[in-house]
Amino acid sequence: MSDIINKMGSILLIDSNEKLRNRTINFFRGSGHQIEGVSNYESAVELLNRQSLDVIISDIEIPGGDILSLVRLVKERDPPIMLIVTSPIEQVSAVIQAIKEGAFDFVRKPFNQGELYVKVEKALEIKQLSLEAQNLRGQQKLMYKTYDLVGESPKFKEILQIIEKIAKSDSSVIILGETGTGKELISGLIHYNSLRAGKAFVKVNCAALPDELLESELFGHEKGAFTGAEKVRIGRFEQADGGTIFLDEIGDMSLKTQAKVLRVLQEQTFERLGSSRTKQVNVRVISATNKNLEDEISVGNFRKDLLYRLNVIRLDLPPLRERREDIILLTRFFMLRYSSKMNKKIHKIHPMAKEKLLSYSWPGNIRELENIVERAIIMADDEIRHEDIYLPIDHKYDKSSSMDIDIPDQGISLEEIEKKVILLSLERCDWVQKDAAKLLKTTNRVLNYKISRLGISHPGWIKNN
């Protein structure tokens, strides 16, 4: 397993001395690296176009070209490639120039293989670290220790047990659940408890960007790939190499991008926008959505084969109202967090305040609870009271409004139940489909599809076909 993660390097050796080339190639192949050798500039460029590389080892003299053009070409086309220059000491000023332009390091000729090997390992390590540093920048700091996750309810414990079992596998995971149920937190928990924990954890919100930008975010682009693409951009999949990518809100991804993601899942390959060079990556994919992907598939918004690849392991996070045992536990957890943050000593909560929290339906789940506790801590003096808790009035948890569905002895089809629920919601929303879709937490398109499939109609609806 660790072999897969500690990916060996893909190396290009440029040297016109055939004997030296063969010796070096044999040495590196023997230690498990992938290495190709060429004797001149033209073949080097040709290989660079064809293959994704980690390190180039080049003699200072390149027949048919020169080292500075090579450095510049690499910088422009594929900046993460680490270039090591080999040269006799007499040419040291040319070497310094190459390093100034962006070459990574220098090995004096004649060299022994061990010395070169150490430099290549160093280059690979730095390349990996700089990719990880890029990921860390701009990422919110979150702790992903189990003690940062609160929950005693059977449903939640079951989720933790599953995570313990699956974290160390390399299978794709899809996390489903309403907004604020902890999908992002759980994705981090999986990564940081996996064998990839030391490698990058890259998060992408697929709903935050328009299609074209999302593609270049995920796969990167070459200089000039489209108007405004002034520099090469390394995509998120490349950054996540060896680690995990978290595709959040995957239900919002366009079909075109879905096709490309499917290919990465199937073959672990992709191309940057504007490039024909195929790149290979080793990435574990965790995805999340609050949409019902089966419904999205039935209206043609989501690829069935992609879902099949994503949900090798599926985690359904329960809404807070279905794990009421955890409400007070979570409240206490957030009380601790925010009172220490605000330098206040509030450890008590009044029974009436508890009752208020317990009788609410929590449509925004744990995130909403966290916000409400934070606010209560600001307001409270020494204990949280009923009036320190501000809840929107229209979401009171009311058992009488929860649905009563009788299952007759002879059984009932899911479809019939679905029809009942849709009719109920339509009635509640004066037959305005848009509002009913909102109430049912689905899209207009999905509801519309179901309405016509279930043969629901209303005289007030204008037929437009």
Ligand X SMILES: Nc1ncnc2c1ncn2[C@@H]1O[C@H](COP(=O)(O)OP(=O)(O)OP(=O)(O)O)[C@@H](O)[C@H]1O
Under the binding rule (CB under 6 A), the answer on residue 450 touching ligand X is: no
Of 35 and 186, CB closest to ligand X: 186
Under the binding rule (CB under 6 A), the answer on residue 370 touching ligand X is: yes
Query: What minimum distance in Å lies between the beta carbon of 262 and ligand X?
Result: 23
The correct pick among 37, 80, 177, 319 for binding ligand X (CB under 6 A) is: 177
CA dist 266 and 275 (Å) reads: 20
Query: What minimum distance in Å lies between the beta carbon of 442 and ligand X?
Result: 15
Peptide bond before residue 318 is cis, with ω within 30 degrees of 0: no
Of 10 and 193, CB closest to ligand X: 193
Query: What minimum distance in Å lies between the beta carbon of 118 and ligand X?
Result: 42
- The size of the interface with ligand X (CB under 6 A), counted in residues, is 16
Site stretch for ligand X (CB under 6 A), options 73-81, 143-151, 277-285, 338-346 = 143-151
Of 332 and 419, CB closest to ligand X: 332
CA dist 389 and 384 (Å) reads: 8
Residues 144-183 that bind Mg ion (CB under 5 A): 183
Under the binding rule (CB under 6 A), the answer on residue 184 touching ligand X is: yes
Under the binding rule (CB under 6 A), the answer on residue 47 touching ligand X is: no
Of 184 and 217, CB closest to ligand X: 184
Under the binding rule (CB under 6 A), the answer on residue 181 touching ligand X is: yes
Under the binding rule (CB under 5 A), the answer on residue 370 touching Mg ion is: no
Of 54 and 248, CB closest to Mg ion: 248
Under the binding rule (CB under 6 A), the answer on residue 180 touching ligand X is: yes
The correct pick among 367, 375, 385, 395 for binding ligand X (CB under 6 A) is: 367
Residue nearest to ligand X (CB): 182
Of 133 and 208, CB closest to ligand X: 208
Of 184 and 370, CB closest to Mg ion: 184
Of 145 and 256, CB closest to ligand X: 145
366 is in the binding site of which of ligand X, Mg ion, none (Cβ under 5 to 8 A by kind)? Answer: ligand X
15 is in the binding site of which of ligand X, Mg ion, none (Cβ under 5 to 8 A by kind)? Answer: none
CA distances 116 to 25, 40, 48, 108, 110, Å, are 12, 20, 21, 9, 10
Secondary structure string (H, E, C) spanning the chain? CHHHHCCCCEEEEECCCHHHHHHHHHHHHHCCCEEEEECCHHHHHHHHHHCCCCEEEEECCCCCCCHHHHHHHHHHHCCCCEEEEEEEHHHHHHHHHHHHHCCCEEEEECCCHHHHHHHHHHHHHHHHHHHHHHHHCCCCCCCCCHHHCCCCCHHHHHHHHHHHHHCCCCCCEEEECCCCCCHHHHHHHHHHCCCCCCCCEEEEECCCCCHHHHHHHHHEECCCCCCCCCCCEECHHHHCCCCEEEEECHHHCCHHHHHHHHHHHHHCEEECECCCCEEECCCEEEEEECCCHHHHHHCCCCCHHHHHHHCCEEEECCCHHHCCHHHHHHHHHHHHHHHHHCCCCCCEECHHHHHHHHCECCCCHHHHHHHHHHHHHHHCCCEECHHHCCCCHHHECCHHHCCCCCCCCCCCCHHHHHHHHHHHHHHHCCCCHHHHHHHCCCCHHHHHHHHHHCCCCCCCCCCCC
254 is in the binding site of which of Mg ion, ligand X, none (Cβ under 5 to 8 A by kind)? Answer: none
Under the binding rule (CB under 6 A), the answer on residue 153 touching ligand X is: no
Give CA angle at 419 (415, 420), nearest 5°: 120
- The size of the interface with Mg ion (CB under 5 A), counted in residues, is 2
The correct pick among 59, 184, 217, 271 for binding Mg ion (CB under 5 A) is: 184
Q: Tokens for 3? A: 């072999």
Residues 321-340 that bind ligand X (CB under 6 A): 333
195 is in the binding site of which of ligand X, Mg ion, none (Cβ under 5 to 8 A by kind)? Answer: none
The correct pick among 25, 185, 336, 439 for binding ligand X (CB under 6 A) is: 185
Under the binding rule (CB under 6 A), the answer on residue 37 touching ligand X is: no
Query: What minimum distance in Å lies between the beta carbon of 367 and Mg ion?
Result: 9
Residues 258-317 that bind ligand X (CB under 6 A): 290
Query: What minimum distance in Å lies between the beta carbon of 248 and ligand X?
Result: 7
By C-alpha distance, which of 211, 217, 307 is closest to 270?
217
Residues that bind Mg ion (CB under 5 A): 183-184
Residues that bind ligand X (CB under 6 A): 149-151, 177, 179-185, 290, 333, 366-367, 370
